[in-house]
Structure 1
Amino acid sequence: MSIGFGGADLPVEPDEIVELEEFVLQVGSDPYSLLEDYADRVAARYEVKDLPRPFANWCSWYPYRLGVTEQRVLETARIAEERSLDKLGLRFVQVDLGWEKHNIPSYFEENERFPHGLKWLSQRLEALGFELGAWKGFTCISENHPVARKHTDWLVRDANGKPSSEGRWFWEPHDEIFHLDITHPDAQQWIRENVASLAERGVRYLKWDFGGNLTAPGIRHNPKIACCDALEGMQLAGQIVQDAMNSQGKEGLVLDCTTCETAHIGRFKMFYTNYDTGNTGLGFHHLRNVYTALGTHLFKNQRWALLQPSCLVVGLPGTLEEARMRATATFLAAGHVDISDDLTNLPEDRWQVLLSVLPPIQKSAEVVDLFHPVRISTGGYQALTQGMDVESQQTSEPQGATVWHAPIQADWDEWHLVGLFNFFEPKREASGAEVPMRFEVDFKHLGLNPDETYWGHEFWSGQFLGDVPLPRKPKDAYRHPGNLTALVNDSGPGVLDVAFHGPAIKLLVIRKPRPHPWPVATTFHQSGGLELANVRWNAAAKTLSGELHRPSGQSGSIIIAGIKPSYKAAAAVEGVSVPIRYGANASLCVPVITRDWVTEWCVKF
Structure 2
Amino acid sequence: MPLSPGFDVVHELTASAGAEVFEHGWQSFSPTTAYALGARPHRPRSERNRMLNYRQSSHPGADGYFSEGVLAVADGSGSVHVVAAADPFTTGVRLQASVSGSSVVVGADGPVRVSVVEGSSVQSALPGWASDAAAAAGLPAARPAPTAWCSWYEYWGDVRREDVVENLEAMRTLDLPVDVVQIDDGYSAEIGDWLTPSDHFSDLRGLVETIRSEGRRAGVWLAPFFAGARSRLAAEHPDWLLRHPHGGPLHAGHNWNQDLYSVDMSHPGAAEWIRTVFSTLAGWGIDYFKIDFIAAGAIPGLRHSGADPVTAYREGLALIRDSVGPSAHILGCGAPVLPSVGLVDSIRVSADTGHTFAPEDGDMCSPSQEAAILSADGRQFMNGVFFANDPDCLIVGPKIENRESWAAHVEKVGGAVVSSDRLVGLDEWGLETTRRLLTR
Amino acid at match of 1:164: L
Amino acid at match of 1:302: G
Q: 1:122 aligned to 186, 204, 208, which one? A: 208
1:238 is aligned to 2:320: no
Q: Is the 8 A contact 1:312 1:340 kept in 2?
A: yes
Using the TM superposition, give the Cα deviation of residue 108 of structure 1 relative to its aligned residue in structure 2, in angstroms. Answer: 2.5
Using the TM superposition, give the Cα deviation of residue 167 of structure 1 relative to its aligned residue in structure 2, in angstroms. Answer: 4.2
1:281–1:292: structure 2 CA closer, same or farther, 3 Å change rule? closer
How far does the alpha carbon of each residue in 1:17-74 deviate from its partner, in whole angstroms, 9 at most, with x for none? xx99763322211343421111112212333225323542111011001221122112
1:71-470 mapped onto 2 (5 Å cutoff): 71-86=162-177, 90-101=178-189, 103-117=190-204, 119-169=205-255, 171=256, 174-223=257-306, 225-227=307-309, 231-246=310-325, 251-280=327-356, 286-319=368-401, 322-360=402-440
Determine the C-alpha separation between the residues in 2 that align with 1:38 and 1:52.
20
Amino acid at match of 1:292: L
Determine the C-alpha separation between the residues in 2 that align with 1:184 and 1:234.
13
Q: 1:25 aligned to 87, 102, 114, which one? A: 114
Using the TM superposition, give the Cα deviation of residue 232 of structure 1 relative to its aligned residue in structure 2, in angstroms. Answer: 0.6
Q: Is the 8 A contact 1:26 1:34 kept in 2?
A: no
Identify unmatched segments of 5+ residues in structure 1: 9-18, 361-605
Determine the C-alpha separation between the residues in 2 that align with 1:288 and 1:280.
9
Q: Quick one: percent identity of the two aligned structures? A: 24
Q: Is the 8 A contact 1:330 1:337 kept in 2?
A: yes
Using the TM superposition, give the Cα deviation of residue 266 of structure 1 relative to its aligned residue in structure 2, in angstroms. Answer: 1.7
Show the counterpart of 2:80.
Answer: none
1:51 is aligned to 2:142: yes
Report the 3-state secondary structure (helix = DSSP H, G, I; strand = E; otherwise coil) of the residue aligned with 1:314: coil
Amino acid at match of 1:351: L
Amino acid at match of 1:70: R
How far does the alpha carbon of each residue in 1:348-376 deviate from its partner, in whole angstroms, 9 at most, with x for none? 2321332332325xxxxxxxxxxxxxxxx
Report the 3-state secondary structure (helix = DSSP H, G, I; strand = E; otherwise coil) of the residue aligned with 1:135: strand
1:39 is aligned to 2:125: no
Amino acid at match of 2:194: Y
TM-score by length of 1: 0.51
1:283–1:49: structure 2 CA closer, same or farther, 3 Å change rule? same
Q: Is the 8 A contact 2:192 2:231 kept in 1?
A: no
Determine the C-alpha separation between the residues in 2 that align with 1:47 and 1:121.
39
1:445-594 mapped onto 2 (5 Å cutoff): none
Amino acid at match of 2:183: V
Determine the C-alpha separation between the residues in 1 that align with 2:253 and 2:357.
29
Determine the C-alpha separation between the residues in 2 that align with 1:327 and 1:183.
41
Using the TM superposition, give the Cα deviation of residue 145 of structure 1 relative to its aligned residue in structure 2, in angstroms. Answer: 2.4
1:2 is aligned to 2:9: yes
How far does the alpha carbon of each residue in 1:430-481 deviate from its partner, in whole angstroms, 9 at most, with x for none? xxxxxxxxxxxxxxxxxxxxxxxxxxxxxxxxxxxxxxxxxxxxxxxxxxxx
Q: Is the 8 A contact 2:356 2:369 kept in 1?
A: no
Using the TM superposition, give the Cα deviation of residue 283 of structure 1 relative to its aligned residue in structure 2, in angstroms. Answer: 7.6
Report the 3-state secondary structure (helix = DSSP H, G, I; strand = E; otherwise coil) of the residue aligned with 2:297: helix
Amino acid at match of 2:184: D
Using the TM superposition, give the Cα deviation of residue 235 of structure 1 relative to its aligned residue in structure 2, in angstroms. Answer: 0.6
Divergent runs of 4+, >4 A: 19-22, 280-286
How far does the alpha carbon of each residue in 1:194-245 deviate from its partner, in whole angstroms, 9 at most, with x for none? 111110111110001111112223222232x111xxx111110010001111
1:22–1:91: structure 2 CA closer, same or farther, 3 Å change rule? farther
Q: Is the 8 A contact 2:139 2:342 kept in 1?
A: yes
**Looking at CA atoms only, which structure, 1 or 2, has the larger radius of gyration?**
1
Determine the C-alpha separation between the residues in 2 that align with 1:178 and 1:32.
37
Using the TM superposition, give the Cα deviation of residue 308 of structure 1 relative to its aligned residue in structure 2, in angstroms. Answer: 0.3
Determine the C-alpha separation between the residues in 2 that align with 1:295 and 1:60.
25
Determine the C-alpha separation between the residues in 1 that align with 2:279 and 2:141.
22
Report the 3-state secondary structure (helix = DSSP H, G, I; strand = E; otherwise coil) of the residue aligned with 2:355: coil
How far does the alpha carbon of each residue in 1:360-402 deviate from its partner, in whole angstroms, 9 at most, with x for none? 5xxxxxxxxxxxxxxxxxxxxxxxxxxxxxxxxxxxxxxxxxx
Determine the C-alpha separation between the residues in 1 that align with 2:333 and 2:145.
18
How far does the alpha carbon of each residue in 1:108-147 deviate from its partner, in whole angstroms, 9 at most, with x for none? 2222322222x32222112222111100012211223233
Amino acid at match of 1:79: A
Q: Is the 8 A contact 2:376 2:391 kept in 1?
A: yes
Report the 3-state secondary structure (helix = DSSP H, G, I; strand = E; otherwise coil) of the residue aligned with 1:94: strand
Show the counterpart of 2:32.
Answer: none
Amino acid at match of 1:350: G
Identify unmatched segments of 5+ residues in structure 2: 1-7, 12-54, 58-90, 94-109, 363-367
Determine the C-alpha separation between the residues in 1 that align with 2:347 and 2:207.
26
Report the 3-state secondary structure (helix = DSSP H, G, I; strand = E; otherwise coil) of the residue aligned with 1:71: helix
Higher fraction of helix: 2
User: C-alpha root-mean-square deviation of aligned residues, in Å?
Assistant: 2.5
Show the counterpart of 1:401.
Answer: none
